[in-house]
A and B are shown apart, each in its own frame.
Chain A
Amino acid sequence: MRLALRELRRSKRRFTPTMVALSLLVVLLLMLGGLLDGLYIGSTGALRAQKSELVVFDASARESTLRSRIEPATRATIEDVDGVAATYGFGIALVGAEVPGETDLADAAVIGYEGNVDGVPAPPEPGTAWADKSLEASGVAVGDTIRVGPTRIPLEVVGWVEDTNYLQQGGLWVEPDTWREVLAESRPGAAVGDDVFQNVWVALADGADADTVAAAIDDATGTTETITRDAAVLALPGIKEQNSIFTQIIAVTFLVAGLVVALFFALLTLERTPMLGVLKAVGASSRQLVGSLLTQTLVVTAIAYLIGALVALGLDAVIPPEVPIAITSSRAVFVAVGVFVAAAIGGAISLRRIIRIDPASAIGTGT
């Protein structure tokens, strides 16, 4: 261990190229992961914030909130199903919002709701909204009256909520009639009547099974498709594809990180074979030499991770807020664990060679 650390300290130049390459890969992993998380968070917040376990769509809407309509009679049928504790109407209108003092319109999602949303207070008064904090970057402030939709319907912002956006549009949480008004003005063809919602969220009774209740609801109404909150999140346009593509890129990057470490330590071990033979001859065990290699692998990776994380955080700070990057602590831990595992596997490639070094090679040969 001390040998390994001394070599790292005194042969910095030898380890620098690998450290730099790994640092860049960490930057890439954190930025890609941050972008994936940013896109995911910014697209799905309004659904993830729901406390209710199930959401009901009109069967013809193919799990799209904007296409779905749930009539009051259907809702009444849903409420009669065993295992349903309560229902909450829900609807969304995607609009542009005029912000005082700003020339550009802010992208907003006006969300009509009846409650049971994590982090969002009860619906505010008509004509007022809880605004997602992300809208602050578009110039919105509490107390502002912003104007939404083509007819510029005024909405006074009465407070902030967080992580409640929908498809990258800032959430404006309003009571249902205000939402219906905005929807009717922004998409007249999609206007809904009194008490009609796009979705109904279903809170389950204690002990009720989500899948059983979902099936019972669809059987009872004959016109709905009921899915879980997580399924609704994945049903949002592009989410599955986005997750799949980014996950593949991230996996390949982890693979490259492992290969960088594997190649470096394989070459280093090859170059040091005579010296390792001498150390074995004077009493170093294979275990000690393997421990040294793993120590160096982990220290190089730790330093590279630290540098990479600092660079990524620096970049995140200067990237414009419109770019949806969110470097979360869970992502940072995931990348750290992934890089360490990839590096450990990469380093382990050289273990066999170290174990097979014959101490007798020290005699008659030299470094």
Chain B
Amino acid sequence: MPALQLRNVRKTYQSGDSEIVALDHANLEVPDDEILALIGPSGSGKTTLLSIAGGLLSPSEGNVVVGGHDITEYSAKDLTRFRREEVGFVFQTVNLVPFLTARENIMVAAELAGRGSEKAARARADQLLEELGLARRADNLPAQLSGGERQRVAIGRALMNEPKLILVDEPTSALDTKLGNQVMELIVGEVKSRKTAAIIVTHDTRMVHYADRTVSITDGVLAA
């Protein structure tokens, strides 16, 4: 079963009297262990596609199926649960909660879910920190971490709930080439070791070789 299927997905916005098409009848299938790079210029619809796949936006037309479940008709409450349990996000800018330590930032999704024991969540967070090379930084606040370390914590947060699909938005845009490569290697390593699907949105063509497949998007239209 594919991790993600977009079936004829269209997303439009009203701007005054005119209609802006952000995504135009997009069809896409991402198998459950594939890393897909989505490339395209600014305003091409990359972020819209990622937002729709992650349940942050609802499509105007078409269906979005994640892990066999059609999320198109989900209520706001169902989408909140879906985002918490089924997908992992790594945002463009490192969006860590400033008053939580590295470990707590990773645990935040588990805490929000309010299920399972805190001990188990803590053990899992510590395991992720270990894998990400941050074991010694577990109790540091984001302000005490370097840019690369913060990005690694964000990756840990995305992996915490063992999602079926990981959505990564411009992970290297704020990093230099060396650090960008390190982060991409880390993402690929973590995703591949879990046999999880991932979509990585990037405008940096130097990073596409990390993906199994590359799809480009222009003016809302997908092209393989």
Residues of A participating in the B interface, judged by any CB pair closer than 8 Å? 2-3, 6-7, 10-11, 274-275, 278-285, 288, 359-360, 362-367
Contact = CB atoms under 8 A, between A and B. Distances in A.
Contacts of B84: 282-284
Given A6-B100, A275-B98, A283-B113, A366 B83 contact: no
B92 A282 contact: no
B92 A363 contact: yes
A280 B109 CA distance: 10
A360 to B, nearest CB: 4
B41 to A, nearest CB: 14
B112 A279 contact: yes
Interface in B111-132: 111-113
A363 B112 contact: no
Contacts of A281: 54, 56, 83, 89, 91
B181 interface: no
Given A285-B77, A288-B112, 10 more contacts: A279-B108, A279-B112, A281-B54, A281-B91, A283-B112, A284-B80, A362-B89, A363-B89, A364-B92, A366-B91
Nearest to B80: A285
Contact of A282 (B50, B77, B100, B109): B109
B108 A3 contact: yes
B99 A278 contact: no
B57 interface: yes
B31 to A, nearest CB: 23
B99 A7 contact: yes
B201 to A, nearest CB: 9
A363 B169 contact: yes
A275 B95 contact: yes
Q: Is the contact region of chain A dominated by helix, strand, or loop, or is it mixed?
A: helix
Contacts of A3: 97, 100, 108, 111
B88 to A, nearest CB: 8
Contacts of B50: 363
Nearest to B158: A282
Contact of B99 (A11, A282, A285, A364): A11
A363 B57 CA distance: 11
Contact of A363 (B56, B97, B108): B56
Contacts of B95: 274-275, 278, 362, 366-367
Contacts of A6: 99-100, 104
25 contacts: A2-B111, A3-B97, A10-B141, A274-B95, A278-B97, A279-B97, A279-B108, A280-B80, A281-B54, A281-B83, A281-B89, A282-B84, A282-B112, A282-B157, A283-B80, A284-B84, A359-B83, A360-B51, A362-B91, A362-B95, A364-B92, A364-B169, A365-B92, A366-B91, A366-B92
Contacts of B89: 281-282, 362-363
Ranked nearest first, the 10 interchain pairs of A and B with the lowest CB-CB distance are A366-B93, A283-B84, A278-B95, A360-B56, A10-B99, A283-B83, A7-B99, A285-B80, A360-B51, A284-B112
> Which bracket fits the contact residues of B?
20 to 34
A306 B16 CA distance: 54
B196 to A, nearest CB: 16
B32 interface: no
B93 A367 contact: yes
Contacts of B96: 367
Contacts of A359: 56, 83
A367 B98 contact: yes
B148 to A, nearest CB: 16
Nearest to B174: A366
A3 B85 CA distance: 19
Most-contacted residue by chain B among A364, A366, A367 (CB, 10 A) = A364
B107 to A, nearest CB: 10
B47 interface: yes
A158 to B, nearest CB: 66
B170 to A, nearest CB: 8
B195 interface: no
B81 interface: yes
Interface string B18-59: 000000000000000000000000000001001100101100
Contacts of A367: 93, 95-96, 98
A367 B100 CA distance: 14
A278 B113 contact: no
Nearest to B91: A362
Contact of A283 (B85, B92, B100, B104): B85
A281 B83 CA distance: 7
A365 B173 CA distance: 12
Nearest to A2: B111
Contacts of A365: 92-93
Contacts of A366: 91-95
Contact of B108 (A10, A282, A285, A360): A282
Nearest to B82: A283
A2 B112 CA distance: 10
